[in-house]
Amino acid sequence: MSAQPVVVLTEAIAADAMRTLAQTCEVRIAPRPTGDAARTALADADAVIVRSTPFGADLIDAAPRLRVIGRHGAGTENIDAAAASRRGIPIVNTPGANADSVAEFTVMTTLMALRRMLPVRDDFLHGRLGDGSLPGVLSRSGRIGSMLARRRVGVIGFGAIGRRVAALCEAFGAEVTFADPYGPRDDPRSRDLATLVAHSDVLTLHTPVTPETRGFLNAALLASAPRGLVVVNAARAEVVDADAMLAALDSGQVASYAVDVWDPEPPRSDDPLLHHPAVIATPH
């Protein structure tokens, strides 16, 4: 038995963080995050740190010494909370730790979508822009895109990430409002969800998956938005009705959908959203 507590990582984390842990703990990295290899690695674990891979009851049951489950991230829906509760094992996470990173991703993909960066780049590289000055060609063909300044950005979910997104978008000159039933009601930017969607050019999503949020961005809500909507999903795949999103993209109701969250993760190779020309798809 180790003299130090054994901390098992189902997947590697930053080297600096592992070095910090190693000062007081015996740190091990499981050969695989699931299956028999993970169960074997967890046999004498006092603590485990997981990323976004599912951590179910079978893995919790494989760790008789387990005292705490750490989530390397904000969302904990990938961890079987009921199984952990039955054992009296607390689940801890790191809310806000990735707020800057996710907010920067959100703004980056918003700018790419508004500027139509990917289709314009593809046309440019393949010589499909035609003759004349490039600004004139882009303008005549409707490819010129738009700025973030003076766009109406609706932020859904106003926690650490949503607040950071709002600050960055306002720095670009956007008009920001937000919807969050647990957010500050006295903030003049606060709106109910229906009003926010109906008056937004860009929607950014930063909500956890709960019974209330699962599939909330559905066909009816998308249809209520201004035509040509840009949606950035930096929350969870399950909060968006995927079939409704595909239909809205095909009709042009949604001009662009940027997403780095999938169900399952990684996505199936034949996931239609992954291959849609109006989708900016990246790994989580």
What are the catalytic residues?
236, 265, 284
CA–CA separation, 154 and 174 (whole Å) = 10
* Residue 251, CB-side half-sphere exposure with 13 Å CA sphere: 14
Q: Which residue has the tokens 């801890």?
A: 92
CA–CA separation, 277 and 283 (whole Å) = 17
Token representation of residue 34: 């699931």
DSSP reduced 3-state for 36: helix
91 with 49: CB under 8 angstroms?
Answer: no
Token representation of residue 164: 């950071």
209 with 217: CB under 8 angstroms?
Answer: no
75 with 50: CB under 8 angstroms?
Answer: no
Beta bridge partners of 254: 229
DSSP 8-class letter at 80: -
Query: 43 φ, ψ to 5°?
Result: -55, -35
CA–CA separation, 143 and 162 (whole Å) = 29
Distances (CA, A) of 76 to 57, 69, 93, 192: 14, 10, 7, 26
